[in-house]
Amino acid sequence: MLRSLFQYSLLCLLLISHHSFADERIKLIVPDFKPYTYYQNGEFRGIGVEKIKKIFSHLDIEYRLSLAPNYGRAVDELRKGRAEGLFLASENEERNDIAEFSKTIMINRWSWFLPENSKLHPSQPSFKKKAEIATYLNTNTHKWLEKNNYKVSYSPSDTKALPMLLDKKRIRVVFLAELVFFESSKEQGIDPTRFVQVVEKEKPFGIYISKDYLKKHPHFMRKLNDAIEATFTHEVSLQSED
């Protein structure tokens, strides 16, 4: 009798543990934002995807990735509860309303790119009034430009054409994440060193976790941040020193 009761109790404990693990699994939305996050040849790839693999291997929590065409759609999916996390992302007020931002995973350099012989330069007092700027639709670079009263003349939902248009002087200035511009230039067969680059900001890249998910799993953010710190703190400090 006692043996049967022990076996029953053990079975219940195992079932509860399995349910807890399954319940904690998380769906993460990623924007099509090469080279950070993208989908190619039937699998998710990119710098950010590799970092997420390391973090969740440390956490030992099941996760599933889903692709969004851009950051605007990714944030909308998070808001509507169709995803519980978003990465890689930098922080802004809109995202803070619906989710909590993690510790820094890596540094994202927001940069101006101009033709080599351009008469414009971000250091000029007249730059904000004169420069007609192109950037990637619905990203934080886009929102930052609008918030700071820059003239956004072109904001496509794909970054591939931006280096080509800049090289042909069909647009005058591009404001974009450094590595995204480099990757887009590479795809167009353009050497990015042909352009003048001016770094405007260094922004932390992290993961957003929805507040609704954290209500159900109040300890998740602490575990996530511990995993990030254990995995990437040294890397981030080296990036900041570059």
Q: What is the mean pLDDT of residues 3-19?
A: 37
Q: What is the mean pLDDT of residues 182-198?
A: 96
The answer to whether the predicted template modeling score (pTM) of the entire model surpasses 0.75 is yes
In a domain, 11, yes or no: no
Whether 171 and 60 share a structural domain: no
Q: Give the total number of structural domains in the chain.
A: 2
**137 against 1, higher pLDDT:** 137
Q: Are residues 65 and 125 in the same domain?
A: no
The helix or strand, by DSSP H or E, that contains position 200, with its residue range, turns out to be: strand 195-210
In terms of residue numbers, what domain contains 99? 19-107+203-241
Predicted local distance difference test score (pLDDT) of residue 23: 52
Please check whether residues 117 and 63 belong to one and the same domain.
no
Is the domain of 32 the same as that of 46?
Answer: yes
What is the pLDDT averaged over residues 204-214?
97
Residue 33: both structure tokens together = 């934002």
Distance CA 179, CA 185 (A): 10
- Residue (of 108, 81, 96) closest to 212 by Cα position: 81
Q: Indicate whether 224 belongs to any domain.
A: yes
Alpha-carbon radius of gyration of the chain: 22
13-67: pLDDT as tens digits: 333 333 334 456 899 999 999 999 999 999 999 999 999 999 999 998 999 999 9
Residue 195, domain member (yes or no): yes
Q: Does some domain include residue 12?
A: no
Q: Would you say residue 194 lies in a domain?
A: yes
pLDDT level of residue 9 (50, 70, 90 thresholds)? very low
Whether residues 26 and 82 fall in one domain:
yes
CA 242 to chain centre: 21
